[in-house]
Amino acid sequence: MGIVNVTPDSFSDGGLFLDPERAVAHGLELLAQGASVLDVGGESTRPGATPVPADEELRRVLPVVEALSAHGRVSIDTRKEEVARAAVAAGATMINDVSAELWPVAADLGVGWVAMHMRGEPATMQAEPRYDDVVIEVCAFLDERATLARRAGVAEIWVDPGIGFGKTVEHNLALLARLDAVVALGWPVLVGTSRKATLGRLLALSDGVEGLVPPDDRLAGSVATEVWAMHRGAAMVRAHEVRAAVQASKVVAA
Ligand code: HH2
């Protein structure tokens, strides 16, 4: 799954593809690099991000969804029913739902649905997230939502542990270490680690420096975690650097 962020403030590529023509060109390049799905989003969900009104989100994503749907499969990365409905009308065939609440919309429209786990809201989710057992709690949540979606009639259901969404470095690593438990739920699993802050921290430790390495210098960590996730049974990874992810997937498959 290749990422097309039509936003001014995404954590790693904010502002690069806010212009629809540039976003479409980027999406086409990701398809050429081997992406199976393009995930188009118009609202950043980075920690501390401010919510975007629906009309602005629609203005950003609709022309891009419409143009890219003619060339490949498009998912719409949104938490808003109105945006999901309009994007599907414009050609998207999957709703990537970081709120895990839009399954009735996916059922109604007959499209695929991704249920992602998030603790809290992007604005506040990184303020001291706590779990008794993060793996057990995330698995229980995903299985409950996926089961509701199945009962509602959604035919294509994905689950995603939501790396970085209301989770510390340790929580993220526990979820990756026990990804087999998520896979064992029996739903196809999507994992998004690409350029995330946990990698920034681990790569800084590797370099022996304080803080985080910047998002555009996290490729080794992105590919390492993508390979790990594939090997543990993830069926799809959500990546900024699609060529590297596709190459890694071919090597893993071989
Ligand atoms: N991560 C981000 C956004 N959407 N969707 C799923 N299913 N899984 C993820 O891990 C996931 C996601 C955050 O990454 P990005 O889109 O690059 O950043 P931003 O939210 O700042 O636009």
Residue 67, pLDDT above cutoff 90: yes
Active site residue 80: no
Name the residue of 50, 64, 76, 77 whose CB sits within 8 Å of the most ligand 1 atoms, as the mutation to test its pocket.
77
Which is the closest atom of ligand 1 to the Cα of 11?
21
Give the per-residue pLDDT at 251. 98
Which residue blocks in 98-241 are alpha helix, DSSP H? 103-109, 134-152, 169-177, 179-183, 197-207, 219-231
> For residues 172 and 163, is the Cβ–Cβ distance under 8 A?
yes
Ligand 1 contact via 160 beta carbon (within 6 Å)? yes
Ligand 1 centre to CA of 3 (Å) is: 8
Residue 127, pLDDT above cutoff 90: no
Active site residue 238: yes
Tokens of 206: 């590797």
Cα-Cα-Cα-Cα dihedral sign, residues 110, 237, 21, 81: positive
In whole angstroms, how far apart are CA 168 and each of 43, 69, 83, 154, 251? 22, 36, 30, 32, 30
Determine how β-strand 112-116 pairs with β-strand 37-41.
unpaired
Q: pLDDT digits over 12-63, tens only?
A: 999 999 999 999 999 999 999 999 999 999 999 999 898 999 999 999 999 9
Ligand 1 contact via 7 beta carbon (within 6 Å)? yes
Residue 120, pLDDT above cutoff 90: no
Ligand 1 centre to CA of 192 (Å) is: 7
**Mean per-residue pLDDT, 178-195:** 98
Higher pLDDT, 138 or 127: 138
Report CA dihedral (103, 109, 112, 115) to the nearest 10 degrees: -20
Tokens of 231: 């090997």
**Mean per-residue pLDDT, 106-134:** 94
Residue 37's SS3 state is strand
> How many other C-beta atoms can be found within 10 angstroms of the C-beta atom of residue 253?
7
pTM of the predicted model as reported, rounded to 2 decimal places: 0.97
Give the per-residue pLDDT at 123. 87
Residue 128, pLDDT above cutoff 90: no
Give the per-residue pLDDT at 131. 97
Catalytic residue, from 167, 238, 243, 250: name it: 238
Tokens of 125: 């989710």
Share of the chain above pLDDT 70, in %: 100
> For residues 66 and 94, is the Cβ–Cβ distance under 8 A?
no
Ligand 1 contact via 3 beta carbon (within 6 Å)? yes
Tokens of 70: 């003619």
Tokens of 218: 């996290």
Q: How confident is the model at residue 238 (pLDDT cuts 50, 70, 90)?
A: very high
Ligand 1 contact via 114 beta carbon (within 6 Å)? yes
Provide the mean pLDDT of the chain.
97
> For residues 65 and 90, is the Cβ–Cβ distance under 8 A?
yes
Which residue blocks in the chain are alpha helix, DSSP H? 20-32, 54-69, 81-89, 103-109, 134-152, 169-177, 179-183, 197-207, 219-231, 242-253
- Total residue length of the chain: 254
Catalytic residue, from 80, 85, 178, 196: name it: 196
